[in-house]
């Protein structure tokens, strides 16, 4: 078994033609170890989301190869790719629009299992309860609708939904960016808890350097679709090699810093709010 759950090599994607062509992703290669997090940083329009979507084949890359869990998943028809979808999920920026307003949150979380014909009604209900528990939402609220929850709670529900198929890899595209700073911290800590308990691998796209510094093992910096720097997180932040990275770091607005997040995490652990049920829930 390869150490790397994901290996994407020389990914390319151009939008438009001729004078209008935009090389959104221009020859990017990434490798992510099982259970680790790769952070993607770069100014707006640098190609971060396009890279994430190409890796999940939500849009078709023009070139490059993608290996997932040891298998080549690029250059095969979507129909053959589809079984991999269960293992590769995405969490988006806007928690409310990611949820169907006409479905109760329980139905929304059950939906992927129903589509994939996993279990029966009863076992799926049980799993919904476990998932809600895991993300810190009272399972007794499973019949409530998305609008009845706060933004942070909605993102917890999206996370539960993304986890319903027991994926190995999740692309988080600005997953905390729309939330209040204090709520961002909670969701980031939830994602990290889940990673630890479930062995998840993340591709974490963000504008927020503090958050990336806090949770990523490695960081890839992008500009105009190209790789600027790619190194372990500590190296990037302690010793940025490019002017572009230095400017990105210097231009951080008043966002939570890694130190701030660490203090919050220590506080949370002290209060004993662990994710005790996560492991048993997945095993079951
Ligand atoms: N579907 C599309 N059609 C045409 N151009 C697109 C499309 N999607 C993205 N682009 C262009 O590709 C480039 C990269 O966009 P992308 O959304 O990947 O950047 P990003 O780094 O995620 O930006 P942001 O931080 O604002 O989310 C931009 O110039 C964008 O306008
Ligand atoms: Mg984006």
SS (H, E, C) the chain: CCCEEEEEEEEEEEECCHHHCEEEEEEEEEEEECCCEEEEEECCCCCHHHHHHHHCCCCCCCEEEEEECCEECCCCCHHHHHHHHHHEEEECCCCCCCCCCCCCHHHHHHHHHHHCCCCCHHHHHHHHHHHHHHCCCCHHHCCCCHHHCCHHHHHHHHHHHHHCCCCCEEEEECCCCCCCHHHHHHHHHHHHHHHHHHCCEEEEECCCHHHHHHHCCEEEEEECCEEEEEEEHHHHHHCCCCHHHHHHHHCCCCCCCHHHHHHHHHHHHHCCCCCCHHHHHHHC
Give the residue ranges of the chain where pLDDT is below 70. 252-284
pLDDT of residue 261: 61
pLDDT of residue 126: 97
pLDDT of residue 251: 77
pLDDT of residue 252: 64
Q: What are the tokens at 33?
A: 């170890």
pLDDT of residue 250: 83
* Rounded CA separation 86/65 (Å): 20
**Ligand 2 midpoint to CA 208 (Å):** 12
pLDDT of residue 117: 95
* Rounded CA separation 28/229 (Å): 11
**Ligand 1 midpoint to CA 233 (Å):** 24
Q: What is the CATH number of the domain that holds 109?
A: 3.40.50.300
Give the bridge partners for 72, in sequence order. 67
Determine phi and psi for 72, rounding to 5 degrees. Answer: -75, 120
Q: What are the tokens at 83?
A: 């079984």
Q: Looking at the 3D structure of the chain, how many domains does it have?
A: 1
pLDDT of residue 86: 93
Site of tokens 């790769």: 38
Indicate the pTM of the whole model: 0.89
CA quadruple 196, 202, 208, 212: dihedral sign: positive
User: Which ligand is the nearest neighbour of the Cα of 11?
Assistant: 1
**Contact in structure between 189 and 265 (CB atoms under 8 Å):** yes
Mutate which of 21, 40, 48 for ligand 1? The one with the most ligand atoms within 8 Å of its CB, which is 48
**Domain that includes residue 274, residue range:** 4-283
Pocket of ligand 1 (CB under 6 A): 15, 22, 24, 42, 44-50
Q: Which residues crowd ion ligand 2, with CB under 5 Å? A: 49
């Amino acid at each position: 078994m390869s150490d790397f759950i994901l290996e994407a090599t020389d990914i390319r994607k151009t939008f438009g033609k001729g004078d209008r062509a935009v090389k959104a992703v221009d020859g990017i290669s990434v490798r992510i170890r099982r259970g680790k997090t790769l952070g993607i940083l770069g100014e707006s329009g640098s190609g971060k989301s396009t890279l994430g979507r190409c890796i999940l084949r939500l849009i078709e890359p023009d070139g490059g190869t993608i290996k997932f869990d040891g298998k080549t998943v690029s250059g095969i028809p979507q129909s053959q790719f589809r079984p991999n979808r269960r293992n590769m999920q995405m969490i988006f920026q806007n928690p409310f629009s990611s949820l169907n307003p006409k479905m109760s949150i329980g139905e929304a979380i059950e939906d992927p299992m129903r589509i994939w014909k996993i279990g029966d009604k009863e076992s799926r209900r049980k799993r919904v309860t476990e998932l809600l528990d895991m993300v810190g939402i009272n399972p007794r609220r499973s019949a409530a609708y998305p609008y009845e929850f706060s933004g942070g709670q909605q993102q917890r529900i999206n996370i539960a939904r993304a986890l319903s198929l027991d994926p190995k890899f999740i692309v988080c595209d600005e997953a905390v960016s729309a939330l209040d700073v204090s709520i961002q911290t909670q969701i980031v800590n939830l994602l990290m808890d889940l990673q630890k308990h479930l062995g998840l691998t993340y591709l974490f796209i963000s504008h927020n350097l503090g958050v990336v510094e806090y949770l990523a093992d490695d960081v890839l910096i992008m500009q105009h679709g190209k790789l600027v720097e790619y190194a372990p997180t500590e190296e990037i932040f302690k010793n940025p090699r490019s002017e572009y990275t230095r400017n990105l770091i210097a231009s951080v607005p008043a966002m939570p810093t890694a130190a701030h997040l660490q203090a919050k995490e220590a506080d949370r652990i002290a209060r004993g709010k662990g994710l005790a049920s996560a492991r048993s829930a997945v095993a079951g």
